[in-house]
Amino acid sequence: MKKNYLDIIDPIHDFIRVYDHELSIIDNSIFQRLRRIRQLSGAHLTYPAAQHTRFEHSLGVMHIASQAGHALNEKGFLKSDDIEILRLAGLLHDIGHGPFSHLFEEIIQEKKISHEDFGKEIILKSEIGDILTKNGFDKKLITKIAFGDSKFQYLNEIVSGALSADMMDYLLRDGYFTGAEHAKIDHKRITQSLDVHQKKLALERSALYSFESMMHSRYQMFKAVYFHKTVRAAEVMLLEALRSSDDEFGFSTFNLDEFIQLTDEYILSSLVSSKSSKLKRARKFAQDYQNRKLLKCVFESILTSRKNLKKIKTTDLRDAISKKSKVAENEIFVDSSVTPSIPLAPSKNESKSIILITSDNGKSSAKEMPISEIPVVSAISGFMNILRIYTYQKNRKKVEIAAKSIIGELE
């Protein structure tokens, strides 16, 4: 029997086919909420067009996961039913995200909570879970695939990691909406070239070039967008605003009804209009953020080989600079931006290699290639660890001098 579907227009994938049971999840207010959480928190203050949200991204991940599923199904690794489950895991992989996406994550991580924990809670205990059960799906299985805990590692790797639907969609989408990088990821080629070796996701050797190219795009997105000096300035301010209002909003105590309210603009307008004296600091950051009065970067350094500097705690560094510059500690902000040179595996471990499959006359063989042998990837690795010191315009000179002096001594 034909299944009913709707084609949703999307600039990245032309159109995304959505089946009826998926639509009932998407149309639920828990999912609709993702429309109000920007994919890139504060990047639109630097890249004005980057207004896209977790909503479109989630549809996109479902779409690419589905293509990957079909490719593996044709190669005999996946049953047709599994594709449906993979689609749902892709659709729901970000359902636990809070306001300002990864910034919210940084706040709750301090209490050892992750967006995946919230995601599991939502899938297992909310209406979303009820819809899944009603449509004959095992909601527990879906959390296992969505959040990196299935028996078949390759299913998790289709959702997150260096060959994942998540990364392919966000690179394509963030590039398209920022305008920083024009879609250079041959995701169709990569998904068509996926393979499986010993329950792990692998890639046909002939698509290695596309993989290297994608890793380079990732590097450029980090440099140009995710770790951009001004983007991080905005995000440091949002982080401070969130941190100073955690007691008020109770970010880490999950309560579904309240959680649904917590969207980017809700947080900002609540803070801006709040009269509470306890929120004074958070309010100031929110106002300055909205009016684009951003912190200034007075020091920047790539940390790669600076071992002494890496050992020091950011709070200690801040205090030392404060002391030397005679600028109050809460007017100095130490920001350390780090990412591995290729994305983390679903296990959250750093990937050290990629499995390549070569076919010759019908026979295929697998080989594990160390990441370090891919020239562009290894070149990149050193440039993904940046330390920056921010402060207010008025303190600029003093903090700059202090920062240079202190960090100079450490090196």
Q: Whose Cβ is closer to its own copies: residue 17's or residue 284's?
A: 17
User: CB of residue 112 vs its own copies: minimum separation in angstroms?
Assistant: 31
Q: Which residue in 85, 56, 51 sits closest to 68, CA to CA?
A: 85
Q: Which residue in 61, 56, 55 sits closest to 34, CA to CA?
A: 55
Q: Whose Cβ is closer to its own copies: residue 23's or residue 355's?
A: 23
The per-type count for the chain, helices as H runs and strands as E runs, is 21, 9
User: CB of residue 180 vs its own copies: minimum separation in angstroms?
Assistant: 6
Q: Whose Cβ is closer to its own copies: residue 136's or residue 375's?
A: 375
Q: Strand, helix or coil at 51?
A: coil
Give yes or no for a contact between 98 and 116, defined as CB atoms under 8 angstroms apart: no
User: CB of residue 307 vs its own copies: minimum separation in angstroms?
Assistant: 20
Within 291-372, residue ranges assigned H as helices are 307-311, 314-325
Rounded Cα–Cα distance for residues 234 and 246 (Å): 18
Q: Whose Cβ is closer to its own copies: residue 328's or residue 379's?
A: 379
User: CB of residue 269 vs its own copies: minimum separation in angstroms?
Assistant: 6
Rounded Cα–Cα distance for residues 155 and 7 (Å): 25
User: CB of residue 314 vs its own copies: minimum separation in angstroms?
Assistant: 25
Q: Whose Cβ is closer to its own copies: residue 220's or residue 353's?
A: 220
Look up residue 338 and give its two tokens: 């780090």
Q: Which residue in 13, 5, 138, 154 sits closest to 72, CA to CA?
A: 154
User: CB of residue 348 vs its own copies: minimum separation in angstroms?
Assistant: 26
Instruction: Give the relative orientation of helices 115-125 and 80-92 as an angle to the nearest 10 degrees.
Output: 120
Q: Whose Cβ is closer to its own copies: residue 268's or residue 406's?
A: 268
Which residues lie closer than 8 Å to 145 by C-beta, 6 or more apart? 85, 86, 89, 155, 156, 159
Rounded Cα–Cα distance for residues 179 and 50 (Å): 8
Q: Whose Cβ is closer to its own copies: residue 120's or residue 205's?
A: 205
Rg of the chain, C-alpha, whole Å: 22
Give yes or no for a contact between 356 and 204, defined as CB atoms under 8 angstroms apart: yes
User: CB of residue 52 vs its own copies: minimum separation in angstroms?
Assistant: 6
Look up residue 322 and give its two tokens: 């404060």
Q: Whose Cβ is closer to its own copies: residue 93's or residue 216's?
A: 216
Q: Which residue in 137, 141, 151, 99 sits closest to 120, CA to CA?
A: 141
User: CB of residue 261 vs its own copies: minimum separation in angstroms?
Assistant: 8
User: CB of residue 175 vs its own copies: minimum separation in angstroms?
Assistant: 9
Q: Whose Cβ is closer to its own copies: residue 111's or residue 382's?
A: 382
Q: What phi, psi does 17 have (nearest 5°)?
A: -80, 125
Write out the residues near its own copies by the rule CB under 8 A.
1-2, 4, 7-12, 14-15, 17, 27, 29, 32, 35-36, 44, 47-49, 51-53, 55-56, 59, 75, 176-184, 186, 188-189, 192, 206, 209, 213, 216, 219-220, 223-224, 263, 265-266, 269, 290-292, 359, 361-362, 364, 375-376, 378-380, 382-383
Q: Whose Cβ is closer to its own copies: residue 233's or residue 345's?
A: 233
User: CB of residue 46 vs its own copies: minimum separation in angstroms?
Assistant: 8
User: CB of residue 183 vs its own copies: minimum separation in angstroms?
Assistant: 7
List the beta bridge partners of residue 335.
Answer: 388
Q: Strand, helix or coil at 4?
A: coil
Q: What is the DSSP string of 171-223?
A: HHHHHHHHSSS-----HHHHHHTEEEETTEEEEEGGGHHHHHHHHHHHHHHII
Q: Whose Cβ is closer to its own copies: residue 172's or residue 317's?
A: 172
CA-based max dimension of the chain: 74
Q: Which residue in 82, 64, 65 sits closest to 73, CA to CA?
A: 82
